[in-house]
A = this chain, B = another copy of it.
Amino acid sequence: MKTQVTIYDIARHLNISKSTVSRALTGHPNINSETRRSVLDLAEKMDYQRNTLSISLIKNKTYTIGVLVPEFSTSFYPQVVAEVQRVAAEAGYNIVISLSNDCYETEVANAAMLLSRKVDGLLVSLSNQTQNFDHLKKFQRRGIPVVLLNSVCNELLMPRVMVNDYDASFKAVEYLIRSGKQRISHLAGPGTSAVNQRRLSGYLDALKKNGLPVREELIIPYDLKLNKVKIYVRYLLNLPQAADAIFAVNDPSAIEAIKAIKSLGLRVPEDMAVIGFGNNYGAECTEPGLTTLNHPVAEMGRSAINLLLQMVQDDASKWRAITKSLEAQLIVRGSA
């Protein structure tokens, strides 16, 4: 059974104590430079590798950040996570990623796992289902900082980074109105998610502010299962007063809508304009290109992890439950 090389092994070989070896390895000032040299050489030769576990145990610090996100099914979270990983690595931290698959139970289980792994901080984007926040409270109670991404939790005071969905949606709908559209429909996501609520609000207010009536029949809440989009599009076109634009809650829905419209022999944006949300992969691949709101993914990841790393270093008394709200820009391609 091959066991690892420890500082004790090095110490024996050099006839010194393991504390001296430790000092050499950690770069402690009080050590003879020759001793240190020979330790480093031998360590190299013996292919010594520090055991991070024991150090973490002693220092009660793991240099690990837990990242809890719902899914990787669009480009959004992968891109956010990539940026988070990059920034964290620069600061000497590693990340442990957990996917909740938008399932509350999985989210709780993963949170418990990250807790028992003694992460130094938690970056979390809650699942759509999550209504109970005890799993996050456990972190707070232990003095482990938590930053929310794209999520709201009114019970808990913790910093969060989000996109200004309201403003963005408002902007998108107003753009449609300015380009002459009158019957703008909203393909909405599940109302359980605060994100979707904010997008709906932006839609509603843009209509009101511009003197357009809110028509219930044009607001379609759906579960984001793409196969239903075609049905909705057909419905919108067959209304007594057909819709002339769709503001979709996300890009995949918008892309699906464009396909449906075209398959019915109609033109985008003349017969029906479409605007999405996210600017995911694929948004520029449609014909016409999808006009959509750009999610500032890298910036979101960067803000969130920087906020969290700052909290990790600061004393808990310095923590502030600030909300960082980033703007989503409207990218005009051709679908609206």
- Residues of A at the B interface (CB closer than 8 Å) are 2-4, 47, 49-54, 56-57, 60, 62, 71-75, 77-79, 81-82, 85-86, 89, 94-99, 101, 110, 112-113, 115-118, 138, 141-143, 255, 262, 280-282, 285-287
A81 to B273, CA, bound (A): 36
A94-B94 contact given A75-B75, A280-B281, CB 8 Å threshold: no
Since A74-B281, A85-B98 are in contact, a sample of 17 more A-B pairs with Cβ atoms closer than 8 Å, ordered by chain A residue number, is: A2-B143, A3-B60, A49-B112, A49-B115, A51-B116, A53-B53, A53-B62, A71-B82, A72-B79, A73-B82, A75-B75, A77-B78, A78-B78, A89-B110, A95-B96, A262-B287, A286-B286
A52-B117 contact given A72-B81, A74-B281, CB 8 Å threshold: yes
Decide: A50 and B116 in contact? CB cutoff 8 A: yes
- Chain B contacts of A112 at CB under 8 A? 49
Decide: B82 and A94 in contact? CB cutoff 8 A: no
A143 to B1, CA, bound (A): 9
A52-B285 contact given A72-B79, A99-B82, CB 8 Å threshold: no
A255 to B75, CA, bound (A): 17
- Chain B contacts of A141 at CB under 8 A? 47
A112 to B51, CA, bound (A): 11
Query: Which listed residue (B52, B98, B143, B262) contacts A94, Cβ 8 A?
Result: B98
Decide: B99 and A97 in contact? CB cutoff 8 A: no
Closest to A54 in B: B57
- Chain B contacts of A110 at CB under 8 A? 89
Closest to A287 in B: B287
